[in-house]
Amino acid sequence: MNIFDSLFLYIYLMPSGLYKRLGINIVHLRAILMAKLTMDNRRPAAFQQMRHSKEKKELNKATLKTMLASFFMGLLFLFAFGIGHDLTTKLTLFFSMFIFMLAATLITDFTSVLIDIRDNLIILPKPVNDSTFLTARLLHIAIHVNKMALPMAFPAMIAVILISGFWTLIPFLFFLLLATMVSIFLINAVYILILKITTPSKFQSIISYIQIGFAILIYGGYQLVPRIMENSVMKDISISSVQYIRFFPPFWFAEACNSLSCFTFGPNAWISTGLAVFVPLGSIYLVMKYFAPAFNQKLGLINSSTVESNKIIKKKQGFNPAYSRIEKLATMLTKDRREYMGFVFAWKMMGRSREFKLKVYPAFGYVIVLLAMLLLKSGSQLFSDFADMTSKGKSLFLMILYFSSFILITAIAQLSYSDKSKAGWIFLTAPLVNPGNVIVGAVKAAMIQFYTPVILIFTIAGTLIVGPGILPNLLLGCFNVLSICSLIAYFNLRELPFSVATSEAAKGRTVIRSMITLIIPAAFGFFQWLIFDYLWIVAIFATLSIIATWMVLGSIRNLGWERLGSYSRNNAQGPN
Amino acid sequence: MDPIISIQNLCKFFGSKQVLNQISFDIMPGQVIGYIGPNGAGKSTTVKILCGLLSDYSGQVFIKGKDIRENPVESKRLIGFVPEIAELYDVLTPSEFLGLIGALYDLSPETVSERADRMLDAFGLAGNKDQRMDTFSKGMKQKVLITSGLLHNPDIIILDEPLSGLDANSVIIVKELISKMADSGKTIFYCSHMMDIVEKVSDRIILINEGVVVADGSFEELKQKQGDSSLEQIFAHLTATTSLSEASDKLMNAFEN
């Protein structure tokens, strides 16, 4: 527990007289909330889940970190106050971002707050009455939401005071509370929707896709917002003139807040104020009355084994053509049974492990966002730059080509990690002569899964825009990326696939090392820029690059046990 | 003497599947009940009903003469439950976790910390009480779980496979603890698949199969009735649908061409 938790707990336990009259046991309530808040503090929260989950054990300040991250997100919202000439416009923008971001942030870790399945076996067998348990759950949710919403809105509070005077803060805070309710309603609506269209067992993976999309969105936001700010037209917009804006909830909050702050109410403002107050209250009533009981029931099924096992049986009966295709591909691309096994195993694990997707898929988004930035910057004659391959077109083409290696580099870097790493004993007990056989299979699987789509897009787009003349350079670029990635795999991937605990991921990968990793593609790109127009030289180097890829993969195949990190670790510890 | 636990005509359905079918038995204070049955026989469901976790059943369950459905909170106060899988909030430390459990049973913080210290010390965990449990081994977690179930000195102790993951010395400790608690008048409800231990610790064995009680009595009585020599054989005799040696033959034959 930190000072904020203690403060929230103190505030929420203040009406203890009222709680007692409702039959709530204050001692139990406090004990449950304290335990829950302590656990939250040690749980990696939404923002950290992406990058820092390796620190899981040491993460003692999760609450403070989350609050700080929310605060920085809140700073981003300040740009709303630089747009438009009236307060309603500024606030409409602010409330839209606030509601959306709060909902998006909460949606990813709301399940663990909303329902912790362990409660069923730990708290429910204890002599705790239902209303105490329910209240503990509700207050826990309230505190959790507060910890996100308050720091997120804090910069805006200061801005509101500076722009419109101290008294505006009071209606602003009031509507902030109501906007928070709308966010909670949105989350619940999304949850219900997901549960309607799919099974509870798929729920978690859909939530992680939302998480991935969210990470990309934040990244894009940080890239885009400063650019929009540069555009001076935005400063004079008035949102009230936009048609249909009256149907947009953030506008109600903004107009109501504006009217209350200057005490001028037109008929429209009355309608907005009424909607701004009653719609959130109505929606939160819906959540409490209908939504919450529905998922408590459905989410309870997430962990129930009976539902799962029935399904598995059904699946196995049907023949799945996709697998046989992968297996055919693996047979073509691998040298022996062990390599084949590594390929198929890694392919399936990459496609199914939520943790792996969560770490690697955002890389696609980052690449797309960065490409969009590059293209936006380069202006309007972009197309002709590419078609004629001017020197600008050349450098852009090479930047895109080499930057795409980021996806494969991220995938290869994650290839050894898994939260089910202990299952990796199968490789250690099996009579493998060279673990390199399995590793090279896995690397090939990563290449096919994460780089062939990129190659395909480049080939099609390149031939359409520039013409077939681009193909030798494309070939050289793609194989350079592949040989760079094989080299990185050779030097960094000293573990069997999916066999190292994620908590180990921090060790040995320093910032400098990953920076150097990104310099290599840049250097190759520069080199190709020098020889770009000499097609014969390009063709020669492309051949060399293919041979290099093939040879490096061969070296990975020959990696012996003594080169593996796990091998030296086990021997250092002695027999265990 | 009045029974401390009384179950009458207990039936429970999950959807259309009947899990418990007319289960009835009385348990006297101080008895150690070995509650056994094959996977899916309805053991866990019975335990969940006794702990007040499930209430949509038909029939009646009384704890100390009071209907558990009408007095769930009072009944829970009398019971200490050690669940099967090491379900605990493992980012907490044992001290924090036991503090939470103690508060839920309305024990004063002093009582909790004194008892917790003594019990953890007895289990050899004194040095680990302020470490987070996510680094603990399965056996260490199980010891904390047993401590949490006994902390409020309950009259009835429900143990669901309590020895899983424990080392041989700890198994001896828990086995002796069970008989000492029974001597002091506590009632033990022991669910397990380990027949040799059930055979030794229980003074009455209830065997259920497909939601029905198929045997009920002391080990000696069961032996006389069934004519088998070990509980394992009695169990197989009463619950196996196919011949077990036939099954192992099939397994061996799988290697042949």
More confident residue, A459 or A311: A459
Confidence of residue B208 (pLDDT cuts 50, 70, 90): very high
Helix (H, G, I), strand (E, B) or coil at B212: strand
Quick check: B91 and A31 CB within 8 A? no
CA–CA dist A106, A525 (Å, integer): 41
A131-157 residue pLDDT tens? 888 888 888 888 888 888 999 999 999
A155-165 residue pLDDT tens? 999 998 988 88
Q: What is the DSSP string of A1-21?
A: --HHHHHHHHHHTTTHHHHHH
CA–CA dist A413, A84 (Å, integer): 45
Q: Looking at the predicted structure, is the pLDDT value of residue A123 above 80?
A: yes
Q: Which two tokens stand for residue B244?
A: 């077990």
CA–CA dist A202, B91 (Å, integer): 26
Closest CA of chain A from B227, distance in Å: 37
H/E stretch holding A417 reads: strand A417-418
Cβ neighbour number for residue A262 with a 10 Å cutoff: 12
User: What percentage of chain A reaches a pLDDT higher than 90?
Assistant: 13
Distance in angstroms between the alpha carbons of the first and the last residue of chain B: 64
Q: Are A478 and A548 in contact (CB under 8 A)?
A: no
Q: What is the mean pLDDT of residues A190-215?
A: 75
State the pLDDT at residue B206. 93
B161-193 residue pLDDT tens? 888 888 888 888 889 999 899 999 999 999 988
State the pLDDT at residue A304. 47
Out of A10-14, A324-328, A379-383, A425-429, give the one with best mean pLDDT: A10-14
A407-418 residue pLDDT tens? 898 899 888 888
Q: Are A65 and A47 in contact (CB under 8 A)?
A: yes
User: What percentage of chain A reaches a pLDDT higher than 70?
Assistant: 81
More confident residue, A514 or B149: B149
B18-75 residue pLDDT tens? 889 999 999 999 999 999 988 888 888 899 899 888 888 999 999 999 999 888 888 8
CA dist list (Å): A81 to A21, A75, A88, A148, B8? 45, 11, 10, 21, 70
State the pLDDT at residue A460. 92
Residues of B in contact with A38 (CB under 8 A): 91-92, 96
| A-interface mutation test, from B47, B81, B91, B92, most A Cβ less than 10 A away | B91
Query: Looking at the partner chain, which of B53, B92, B135 has a beta carbon nearest the beta carbon of A125?
Result: B53
Q: What is the mean pLDDT of residues A287-295?
A: 69
| A-interface mutation test, from B104, B106, B108, B132, most A Cβ less than 10 A away | B104
| B-interface mutation test, from A13, A117, A121, most B Cβ less than 10 A away | A121
- Return all residues near A340 (Cβ < 8 A) that are at least 6 apart: A330, A331, A334, A441
Given CB atoms, is B244 within the 8 Å cutoff of chain A?
no
Helix (H, G, I), strand (E, B) or coil at B22: strand
Q: Could you say which DSSP state residue A561 is in?
A: G
Residues of B in contact with A13 (CB under 8 A): none
- Residue A169 φ then ψ, to 5°: -60, -35
Closest CA of chain B from A36, distance in Å: 9
Residues of B in contact with A32 (CB under 8 A): 100, 104
| Sign of the Cα pseudo-torsion (A209, A215, A216, A218, in order) | positive
CA–CA dist B29, A430 (Å, integer): 53
Pairing of strands B17-27, B32-36: unpaired
CA–CA dist A102, A146 (Å, integer): 10
CA dist list (Å): B12 to A182, A297, B43, B211? 41, 18, 12, 9
CA–CA dist A169, A21 (Å, integer): 34
Q: Write down the CATH number for the domain with range B5-84+154-253.
A: 3.40.50.300
Quick check: A57 and B134 CB within 8 A? yes
Sheet strands (E) in chain B? 5-14, 17-27, 32-36, 58-63, 66-67, 79-82, 156-160, 187-191, 204-209, 212-217
Within B106-242, residue ranges assigned H as helices are 109-122, 138-150, 168-183, 195-201, 219-226, 231-239
**Nearest partner of A434 among A555, A345, A331, judged by Cα:** A555
Quick check: A43 and B53 CB within 8 A? no
Confidence of residue A250 (pLDDT cuts 50, 70, 90): confident
Residues of A in contact with B105 (CB under 8 A): 126-127
Q: Which residue of B has its CA nearest to A25?
A: B104
Q: What is the mean pLDDT of residues A258-270?
A: 80
Q: Which residue of B has its CA nearest to A60?
A: B91
- Residue A263 φ then ψ, to 5°: 55, 35
Closest CA of chain B from A502, distance in Å: 14
Quick check: A31 and B92 CB within 8 A? no
ipTM above 0.90, yes or no: no
More confident residue, A429 or B27: B27
Q: Looking at the predicted structure, is the pLDDT value of residue A301 above 60?
A: no
More confident residue, A109 or A480: A480
CA–CA dist A40, A36 (Å, integer): 6
CB pairs under 8 A between A and B: 67
Query: Looking at the partner chain, which of A39, A57, A126 has a beta carbon nearest the beta carbon of B101?
Result: A126
Closest CA of chain B from A42, distance in Å: 7
Least confident of A98-112, A445-459, B224-238: A98-112
| Per-chain mean pLDDT for chain A | 79
Q: Are A83 and A237 in contact (CB under 8 A)?
A: yes
